Amino acid sequence: MISHAQTLLREIFGYSEFRGQQAEIITHVVNGDSCLVLMPTGGGKSLCYQIPALLRKGTAIVISPLIALMENQVAVLCRQGVRAVYLNSALTPEAAAAVERRMLAGEYDLVYVAPERLLTVRFRALLQRIPIALFAIDEAHCVSQWGHDFRPEYGKLSILPEKFPQIPRIALTASADARTRADILRCLDLHQARSFISSFDRPNLCYRITARSNSRIQLLNFIRSQHAGEAGIVYCQSRRKVEETAAWLNSNHIPALAYHAGMETSIRTRHQKKFLQGHGIVMVATSAFGLGIDKSDIRFVAHLDLPKSIESYYQETGRAGRDGLPASAWMVYGPGDIIRLRSQTESGTERLPAPIRQAAAARLDALLVLCETTVCRRKPLLDYFGEPTGSLPCGNCDACLETIPVQDVTIAAQKALSCVYRTGQCFGMEYLIDILSGKRTDRVRQWGHDCISTFGIGHELSTEGWRIVFRHLLALDYLVAGEDRAGGERIALQLTSAARSVLRGETRIKLRLSHHHHSAPYQQIST
């Protein structure tokens, strides 16, 4: 079988060898077995179902949530001579009907459909009448409410195992923490199926994250000193900042183009083409840029603003160094980013149930830990994707390569941990910070916590400073988030056995805290 697959790989897709687990996955699916494929963006997930689609009898049905991506993939396949087509809301009813007729006649190897179309009674009836090679569920994390991209129609894909139990299902995603993964297995009934989990580590990427002082100058220095004359992407949050930054780079003799959704399509397309074909051009863009971009020699991705999640950060930085040669992921951030993201997270999840709001808050915390960590950057990054981090430190990130200014915050950590202990391990972070900062809120008074020994002992740090301390105690497993037994909405923090050594002063806690997190002068040391 694998020799057939190899032939297709060479003759249709033009590649000489399978990458990573591709061959194994393809053999598995061709044999008619279902599986979950967790592979980073750019890892080569598509071939894992495209080749089985060609090797198995019948038509493969690919469920994909993004119209643009669908059209792009189909166009590429058609150019390679594969009989592929898509069915989505962009087609007229007549065109869709024509596609359905040809489907019945068995004229396609692959049909890409949007989930809402798949769920219609009409389409399902059509599927009952034709031989189906497999179902590929792309972006499978969309089934989960815990993920960052929940789509209700995806949740209904449980009809696939129910109505078509014999057809192999291959669920693919680049982002799934343990909870999301469990949801995918449940929704698509893949408990008996194999999971293929690839590493998310990108060893050739050097991660650097620094506090923002003057971001333009910092960017210019970074490009000039490390990537002069090389192609890169600079991400900004706002369209205006995109345009201003591109103009600024150009005025400093760095050829730059702008790209954002507010620009005229023809200009956007022209800029994209120039960037893809040119050499040493810097694309300054919003997150609208990059989906489906296939340029292997992008040498750096710079972020002038914090992206909205670790997923976005990973995906955007992942566009650098696809050729495996050294590349940089560089970012500046400041307190403004944290305020912006917190308010976006809160307003975006305001009407959702408490556990989902907490999951969103925890995702934001994970991103902030990545920024503030004093250990290898790969630790929080790979932790987030549930990957073992045994081989760290990496030797290829700022924390590993440079001496970073850190502060010993053991005393603050001890205060935080004692406060958790004294209040019975029943409360969430914000409430505990109120106590430490000596705020006599109604809730504090109700519980009588204005009379305990840890009330008001934490004036040395600002609220954000305390959040950093708590976030790290969580990230470093001195605290765990349990259920809130005091009836509030936040998760209750509880001590782990490791917390004892911090309380006894046997373990020192060091963090990257900047001046604005202090309410009073704090000693600064270096490691």
Q: List contacts with ligand ADP (CB under 6 A).
A: 15, 17-19, 22, 39, 41-47, 294
**Among positions 37, 302, 376, 493, the unique one binding Zn ion when judged by CB under 5 A:** 376
Q: Nearest approach, Cβ of 137 to ligand ADP (angstroms)?
A: 13
What 3-state DSSP class applies to 477? coil
Cβ nearer to ligand ADP, comparing 17 with 506: 17
Size of the site for Zn ion (CB under 5 A): 5
The token pair that represents 259 in the structure block: 């790209």
Q: How far is the CB of 46 from ligand ADP (least distance, A)?
A: 3
Residue 18 binds: one of ligand ADP, Zn ion, none (C-beta under 5 to 8 A by kind): ligand ADP
Give me the least distance between CB of 283 and ligand ADP, in Å please.
18
The option from Zn ion, ligand ADP, none interacting with 10 (CB < 5 to 8 A, set by class) reads none
- Residue 442 interface partner, choices Zn ion, ligand ADP, none, CB cut-off 5-8 Å depending on type: none
3-state secondary structure of 57: coil
Residue 45, binding choice from Zn ion, ligand ADP, none, Cβ under 5 to 8 Å by partner class: ligand ADP
Q: Exposure pattern of 425-438 as b/e (b: 16+ CB <10 Å)?
A: bbbbbebbbbbbbe
Q: Which segment (313-321, 332-340, 363-371, 375-383) binds Zn ion by CB under 5 A?
A: 375-383
Kindly tell me the burial class for residue 402, based on how many C-beta atoms sit within 10 Å of its own C-beta (0-12, 13-18, 19 or more): exposed
CB of 194 to ligand ADP, least distance (A): 18
Q: Identify which of 346, 509, 352 has the alpha carbon closest to the alpha carbon of residue 430.
A: 346
Minimum distance, C-beta of residue 395 to Zn ion, in the bound complex (Å): 6
Q: How far is the CB of 140 from ligand ADP (least distance, A)?
A: 12
Q: Pick the closer one to Zn ion by CB: 202 or 271.
A: 202
To ligand ADP, the closest distance from the beta carbon of 228 in angstroms equals 27
Please say which residue, 20 or 326, places its beta carbon nearer to ligand ADP.
20
- In terms of Cα–Cα distance, which of 266, 273, 310 is closest to 295? 273
Q: Are strands 492-495 and 232-235 parallel, antiparallel or unpaired?
A: unpaired
- State which residue, 294 or 483, has the beta carbon closest to ligand ADP: 294
- 394 makes contact, choosing from Zn ion, ligand ADP, none, with CB < 5 to 8 Å by partner type, with Zn ion
- Phi then psi for 324, rounded to 5 degrees? 85, -5
Nearest-CB residue for Zn ion: 376
Cβ nearer to Zn ion, comparing 171 with 397:
397
Reported for 446-454, long-range contacts at CB under 8 A and 24+ positions apart, including other chains, are 447/423, 447/486, 449/423, 452/422, 452/423, 453/418, 453/422, 454/415, 454/418, 454/419, 454/422, 454/423
What is 83-98 written as a DSSP string? -EEEESTTS-HHHHHH
Q: Which tokens go with 125?
A: 């009836």
Q: Of 200 and 259, which CB lies nearer to ligand ADP in the complex structure? A: 200
* Residue 376, contacted partner among ligand ADP, Zn ion, none, CB below 5-8 A by kind: Zn ion
* Binding site partner of 294, from Zn ion, ligand ADP, none, Cβ cut-off 5-8 A by kind: ligand ADP
Report, in Å, the least distance between residue 241 CB and ligand ADP.
28
Strand blocks (E) in 148-307: 169-173, 194-197, 205-211, 232-235, 256-259, 282-285, 300-303
Backbone angles phi, psi at 235, to 5 degrees: -95, 135
What number of other Cβ atoms are within 10 A of residue 79's Cβ? 8
Q: Which does 397 bind (CB under 5 to 8 A by kind): Zn ion, ligand ADP, none?
A: Zn ion
315 neighbors 385 (Cβ within 8 angstroms): no
Give CA torsion, residues 495, 455, 469, 386, to 10 deg: 30
18 or 313: CB nearest ligand ADP: 18
Options 66, 182, 362, 400; binder of Zn ion; rule CB under 5 A: 400
Question: Token match 């109120």: residue?
Answer: 434
Whole-angstrom distance, CA of residue 509 vs CA of residue 464: 17
Residue 320 beta carbon to Zn ion: minimum distance, rounded to whole angstroms: 16
For the residues of 419-472, what is the DSSP string, one character each?
HHHHTTT---HHHHHHHHTT---HHHHHTTGGGSTTTT--TTB-HHHHHHHHHH
Report the partner that residue 161 touches, choosing among ligand ADP, Zn ion, none (CB closer than 5 to 8 A by kind). none
Is residue 411 near Zn ion by the rule CB under 5 A? no
Element (H, E) at 9: helix 2-11
Residue number, 38 or 394, with CB nearest to Zn ion: 394
User: 41 touches which of ligand ADP, Zn ion, none (CB within 5 to 8 A by kind)?
Assistant: ligand ADP
Within 378-397, which residues bind Zn ion (CB under 5 A)?
A: 393-394, 397
Nearer residue to ligand ADP within complex by CB, 45 or 260: 45
Exposed, middle or buried by CB within 10 Å (0-12, 13-18, 19+), for 151?
A: middle
* Residue 19's binding partner out of ligand ADP, Zn ion, none, with CB under 5 to 8 Å set by partner kind: ligand ADP
Q: Which residues bind to Zn ion, rule: CB under 5 A?
A: 376, 393-394, 397, 400
